[in-house]
Structure 1
């Protein structure tokens, strides 16, 4: 017989966070730059997108809630553990049959200091969420209500949008989507952001001047790497 599980389990690293300096290195940085700095890694799938037409940009550490499909007890339990500037990650195992949060959860998360909410499920109470003002990334809208009975886990490893997320990982989100920077790679990725920004600005300037074909692509077209059939 399966043992009756605890309603909630709290992970040992629920308080792990990057330093203020590490967080500041990602503020205002486009998600595309962060992905480039990780050599193409880190982006959640495109089904997770910003709710509403705003232009919110968020960079902050993850606090993870691992929920069963149709349940949000872990998300609600995170309200005790949120620190100012956290991005609450409400994992729903991709369940689309009901909302993974609504305006009241968003409001309480904002009251607790959350900078944003990210989930791989839909949300509900669109107008209320906009009124609350907490930036949210989700898979869309569903008016169905979730349960709050568990079991669930707080501060443990989750998979959201094809990316593994652990508490303390850096989350960077904007109109383009959501990117996860693993805790152990924060300094390395931050160190590459300056070079990425310089390259992007240089290419932008060339495009504004009329660039049609980058030199690197022209070299491939004119070399034996290209075959005319």
Structure 2
């Protein structure tokens, strides 16, 4: 006899970063965070901010793994979301129907979630805008999902080309979504501080009239790497 699989698999340990680690990423642009990880961590450019909503969110990932066209795990995330969580709802890239709609967003906001990220589209734009929960998705569609499962909550999933584990930091803004793995949070926090310092210094130089790129100036001066034709 083959045992019927369970509809939901839920991790017992829904790990989260410390409050200090979470605070360290607040307000950091995705570009700074990405540079601090040497260019790694960006989700697909197809995942963009939902129109008319705030394009700024940062918090620990609560990962909901769904089958294409299903949202059972996302519904389960409503019962486990903690204040400040970013629900990352994997839909295996399915574009045939919405990964969620305005009522799900409303309940997640009521539960304290700080944002929502999915590799599928959303629906009910007017309702989404009324709720106001920041959300990143692949677009909009009127298609409605089902809630049959199976699904997972708190277990790893692939979203937008990135493996996301529970407790990873999600940093999202108008440029897109970046995933910072839990295991390297402290190293990235240290690195992003240096990136921010360098970027702000360069911003000041540009504002003061800088019009020369060091790398190109050196190549022109030395002649190395240039082929005049």
TM-score, structure 2 as length reference: 0.95
User: How does 1:39-188 map onto structure 2 within 5 Å?
Assistant: 39-188=38-187
Q: Which runs of 5+ in 1 are unaligned?
A: none
Question: Secondary structure of the equivalent of 2:25?
Answer: coil
- Give the match for residue 220 of structure 1: 219
The question of whether the paired residues in 1 share the 8 Å contact of 2:54 and 2:134 is answered with: no
Q: Distance in 1 between matches of 2:51 and 2:152?
A: 29
CA RMSD after TM alignment? 1.4
Aligned residues: 228
Q: Check if 1:6 corresponds to 2:6.
A: yes
Distance 2:136 2:85 in 1: 14
> Structure 2: where are the runs of 5+ without partners?
none
1:155-194: per-residue Cα shift (whole Å, max 9, x none)? 1111111111000000001111110000011100001122
CA distance in 1 between counterparts of 2:115 and 2:84 reads 8
Length-normalised TM-score, structure 1: 0.95
Residue 195 of structure 1: CA displacement? Answer: 1.1
Partner SS state of residue 31, structure 2 = helix
Cα deviations by residue, 1:7-27 (Å, 9 ceiling, x for unpaired): 1111243x2000000000000
